[in-house]
Chain A
Amino acid sequence: MTGRGLLWSLVAILVGLVLRRRLDVVEVRGRSMAPALLPGDRLLVARLGPPRVGDVVLAADPRDPRRELVKRVSALGAGGVTLRGDNALRSTDARSFGALPPSSVGWRVVGRYWPADRIGRVPTSAVGDDLHGQ
């Protein structure tokens, strides 16, 4: 990206943040998305088109709609969107899964802007941590 392109991107992000309709910023709590996301990470999220497999998205918690989950899309199908935490053993249960209606998934994580030493895009596929490997 050229210097001018980068500048315009930043301007577009700032304008988007003023409006908060399709861009927003959120903070992460919990470790189920480690190492891609860590507690306290601040993320730029966007509402731009449907999610794809591998995307990290925000979704309303089906148990409590006031809560919002941040998870990775592991599958898309007729049954809905299947979300998983990257760090299965830190999740409630490694076997937990749930297909959610696509309408409950709106925001997609674009990148991290804080902490400063980890600014950048969030990896689109999980880093494997296979405890069962022998």
Chain B
Amino acid sequence: MLTLRSLLRPTRVVDAHCDIPCGVYDPEQARIEAESCLRIIEKHDASDDKLFRARCIHVKEERAELVKHHLDVLWHDYFKPEHLEKYPDLHETFWKATKQASKVKQTLDAGAAKELLSMIDGIDEMWKATGGPEKTRVNGRPS
């Protein structure tokens, strides 16, 4: 029977999931945000201006969140099952790195930010070894 309810029942689901992947990936994007975190922590520690320190904390948390976002994109969009065969600890590596980014978000520990940078460097090695620069950047990585 034709009812108002049946007329208003959606005929299909439409996706607001994601944009079309452009295929450009580079751990450098996460690294730059992580470097920002480190420098902001240093500036925070060197200042005795309460307002400036508050801003440092706020911006550092935003940047750390961006690190997590960029690492997530690499993890679930760039890396493929065949990469997992080559790097069985891939999931572990990303899990630890994103956890480290959370630590940088929550604390003002410069050591934690340095540790995050070295973890991103490890991911960068995997990205390079799997042909990332040639496959995902328009003209390779700028030197």
Contact = CB atoms under 8 A, between A and B. Distances in A.
Interface of A: 14, 17-18, 20, 24-34, 37, 39, 42-43, 58, 61-63, 67-71, 83-85, 88-89, 91-93, 95-98, 113-114, 131, 134
What secondary structure prevails in chain A residues at the interface with B?
A: mixed
A92 B73 CA distance: 7
For chain B, which range describes its interface: under 10, 10 to 19, 20 to 34, or 35 or more residues? 20 to 34
A27 B117 CA distance: 42
B13 A26 contact: yes
A62 B20 contact: yes
Given A14-B7, A17-B7, A93-B77, A85 B18 contact: yes
A33 B15 CA distance: 9
A37 B15 CA distance: 11
A71 B62 contact: no
B110 interface: no
Contact of A29 (B14, B20, B69): B14
Contacts of B9: 25
A91 B17 CA distance: 6
B11 interface: yes
B11 A24 contact: yes
